[in-house]
Amino acid sequence: MCGIVGYVGPQQAEGVVIEGLRRMEYRGYDSAGVALVHDGEIAWDKRAGKLANLDKSLGDQPLPKATTGLGHTRWATHGAPNDVNAHPHLGATGRVALVHNGIIENFAPLRAELERAGHELRSETDTEIAAHLVEAAVTEGHSLTEAMRQVCRRLDGAFTLVAIDAHDPDRVVAARRNSPLVVGVGEGENFVASDVAAFIEHTRDALELGQDQVVTITREGVEVVDFDGNPAEGKPYHVDWDLSAAEKGGYDWFMRKEIHEQPNAIADSMLGRHDEQGALQLDELRISEDELRGVDKIIIVGCGTAFYAGLVAKYAIEHWTRIPCEVELSHEFRYRDPILTRDTLVVAISQSGETADTLMAIRHAREQRAKVLAICNTNGSTIPRESDAVIYTHAGPEIGVASTKGFMTQLVACYLLGLYLAQVRGTRWGDEIAAVVRELEQMPGHVQSLLDRGDEVLALAENLADARSVLFLGRHAGFPVALEGALKLKELAYIHAEGFAAGELKHGPIALVEKDVPVFCIVPPQGRDFLHDKMVSGIQEVRARGARTIVLAEEGDDDVAPYADVMVRLPKVPTLLQPMVAVVPLQLFACELATRMGHDVDQPRNLAKSVTVE
């Protein structure tokens, strides 16, 4: 989820580009770089880490003055986050500089082709091959626009590319396929960027580009063609929000924005994880298949939302692999003297990779010679560095304190881990694994369908704005969803909220049920009849005592309708994957209820995004 800026105009390009990158650092902060056209050459600088590192380098060694340039903030996919892999990348002779967002799926054969032709590729990235290919085409006499068009027709995957040519100093060319790119239209200056936030300070007039289009910007104007060279037009629109709102994409809260980013986050988490046959390939894992075959116990550690993701993972991992799986709160783990051996796999889940409790847990595990695998969203953070292996979630920066897309992508990573273990150990057939992978690939669409119907949940929040206690019930994989739903309400609305396993009701918690208390009920899919029927019994128990039941059930489940005061329909998905859709209405509800109560949704009281003290 990288951030890209390109500029042509009368201003000093470096300042415009750097400020645009600053507005978009939420899109990636593994590295940052800038390239300018000056006196027939490319002047550039790039640094690993946050934009501040690039700022310092430019302060120490300023680039020459220039009025055409581009910049990039990186969220690493191919290649480690270091100076060499940072963007921009240059062609073989340094004539063309290019930046990229997305993944070029066929980069391996293209890289081999370039190497056979004598090109020396310096980075591990898929991006560098595009820089070499574009430069080769302009060297043959094609314009930068034509070169970009030719190269894009050869690429597979999802990408945004932006390039400059040292011999064509008044032009920036960009292209997109399944990756964000917008044009900013100014007076005597024009922009391209991943997000309008990059140029909103300079212009509010924008063009939205279609799929498979190439755009050329100069001071004089904007030209758009498709990959085949046919003239095309961008869709003009006017940005009617201020700079601070633009940073949130027009949403009132970062959290709401992040809830709506979940379809893209899920898709990004799945990118490059499997081949065309559905066989999984977790390149970041770094634990051999022989070692994984020897694992005889899995312990998942995490705090808060990460802990609940681990509870979901337990159901999936044990079902697919038949390996015993425990889930522990990180801060309790080492104090109970857990039994660990060389054949224990400890899975540490942390969005930031800096959670102190979880870090202490993995250090204890490694002291006991257990293998440690991190599930994390932040490249280069401490927990992945101190683990034997890592699965990065690629959710992009999450600014809202209450985790949403972080939780969603942790679920994806946990599912991928479980399926990969099943593949390595042979506990599931290849076609069974491929079938689940296909179901996971449908999840962005399922989540989007719920977001499109979000007004139902917003209305519910309005009706329950005076509630002072809310209960959540679930069974099987729906139980952790109930816990997560309650946590979101506690974090944001500051009211009493509890999540329970539905079967536990009659063992004490039903004493909390009184007339009109709202009870959210997550109903398992109908295919698991014994789970479904038990859940219906739990709904009847609370309804008989006057509770107001808000029932989350799959489309077509009419058996539960008579026991629901409010129905929230979920897409039909397998039982183990239902948490990915069931949690979305609960996120929306918590966000909206807190908004109506006048709370700061992004920065709830007493909380911090990353807990770095134990």
Active site residue 609: yes
Q: Kindly provide the residue ranges of all beta strands, DSSP E only, lying in 330-437, ordered along the sequence.
A: 344-350, 371-376, 389-392
Segment-wise mean pLDDT, segments of 10 residues, the chain, 614 residues: 89 94 74 94 92 92 95 82 90 96 90 94 93 96 97 91 96 89 94 89 89 94 95 85 67 92 92 81 84 96 96 97 96 91 96 86 94 86 86 83 94 97 95 94 96 90 90 95 97 94 86 89 84 87 89 92 93 96 97 93 75 50
- Count Cβ atoms below 10 Å from residue 564 Cβ, excluding itself: 18
Per-residue CA distances from 66 to 14, 37, 144, 331 (Å): 7, 6, 19, 53
H helical segments located in 299-392: 305-321, 330-333, 356-367, 382-385
**d(C-alpha 25, C-alpha 347), whole Å:** 29
pTM of the complete model: 0.69
3-state SS class at 325:
strand
Contact 372, 268 (CB under 8 A): no
pLDDT value at residue 246 = 59
Considering only CA atoms, give the Rg of the chain: 25
Q: Is the link from the previous residue into 88 a cis peptide, with omega within 30 of 0?
A: yes
Catalytic residue among 50, 297, 534, 609: 609
Q: Which of 2, 303, 521, 591 is catalytic?
A: 2
Q: What confidence score (pLDDT) does residue 612 get?
A: 42
What integer pLDDT is reported at residue 219 of this predicted model? 96
Which uninterrupted H or E stretch holds 100?
A: strand 96-104
**Is 303 in the active site?**
no
The whole-number pLDDT of residue 609 equals 59
Q: What is the pLDDT of residues 95-117, one digit of tens each?
A: 999 999 888 989 999 999 999 99
pLDDT for the residue 355:
84
Q: Is 152 helix (H, G, I), strand (E, B) or coil?
A: helix
Q: 19: which strand partners?
A: none
Q: Sort strands 518-522 and 469-474 into parallel, antiparallel or unpaired.
A: parallel
Domains of the chain: 3-241 (3.60.20.10), 257-441 (3.40.50.10490), 449-596 (3.40.50.10490)
68 and 37 in contact (C-beta within 8 Å)?
Answer: yes
Q: Which residue type is seen at 495?
A: I
